[in-house]
């Protein structure tokens, strides 16, 4: 399946019309291996360009349809990534806000411990975990 086909299949499955901005924003998210901000996505959309307001509205539609996840990772900055990605965590640079995906998760045993210790909860169904540090670029330019 090429990019265009998989993006339009995703839109169709979500019950959304496959407009050009939607297809282009979605294929950028499909290609990315880390979460992107509205500005990141807008800067990747050239010829013809798509303004940030349109990118933002398109992302909102995707979030409502459940195909894209909205993340707030660094000082309230918003990032977006495909909701269909496998469960993973994020590593965030506390200086510049660069975000990297951290594949794999070893929190299953932690979830069991959390439930065991809890007074009021009998199950844990999900979790979110972010790591904060300094990226190599920020360390070098310091
Ligand atoms: Zn950095
Ligand atoms: Zn991610
Ligand atoms: Zn996890």
Q: Could you report the per-residue pLDDT of 83-113, keeping only the tens digit for each?
A: 988 999 999 999 998 999 999 898 989 999 9
**Helix runs in the chain, H state only:** 3-13, 20-31, 38-44, 52-65, 108-117, 136-140
d(CA 19, CA 32): 20
β-strands 77-82, 68-74 pairing: antiparallel
**38 and 64 together in one domain:** yes
Which structural domain range is residue 8 located in? 1-85
pTM: 0.84
For residue 108, the domain's CATH number is 3.30.1490.190
**Which pLDDT value is given to residue 3?**
54
pLDDT tens figures, 111-141: 999 999 999 999 999 998 999 999 999 999 8
Is the previous residue joined to 26 through a cis bond, with omega within 30 degrees of 0? no
Task: Point out the domain boundary residue: 55, 85, 115.
Answer: 85
Residue 58 CA, ligand 1 centroid: distance in Å: 28
- The Cβ of residue 19 has, within 10 Å, a number of other Cβ atoms equal to 12
Verify that 70 and 108 share a domain, yes or no.
no
Note the ligand closest to the C-alpha atom of 124.
Answer: 3
- Distance (angstroms) between ligand 3 centre and the Cα of 85 equals 12
User: Residue 64 is part of a domain; what is its CATH number?
Assistant: 1.10.10.10
């Amino acid at each position: 399946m090429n990019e265009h086909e998989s993006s339009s299949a995703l839109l169709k499955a979500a019950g959304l019309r496959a407009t050009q901005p939607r297809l282009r924003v979605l294929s950028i998210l499909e290609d990315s291996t880390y979460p992107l901000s509205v500005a990141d996505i807008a800067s990747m959309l050239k010829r013809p360009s798509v303004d940030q307001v349109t990118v933002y509205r398109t992302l909102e539609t995707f979030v409502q349809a459940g195909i894209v996840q909205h993340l707030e990772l660094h000082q309230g900055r918003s990032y977006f990534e495909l909701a269909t990605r496998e469960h993973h965590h994020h590593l965030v640079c506390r200086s510049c806000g660069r975000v990297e995906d951290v594949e794999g998760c070893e929190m299953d045993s932690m979830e069991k411990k959390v439930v065991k210790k809890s007074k009021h909860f009998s199950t844990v169904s999900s979790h979110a975990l972010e790591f904060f540090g300094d990226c190599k670029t920020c360390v070098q330019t310091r």
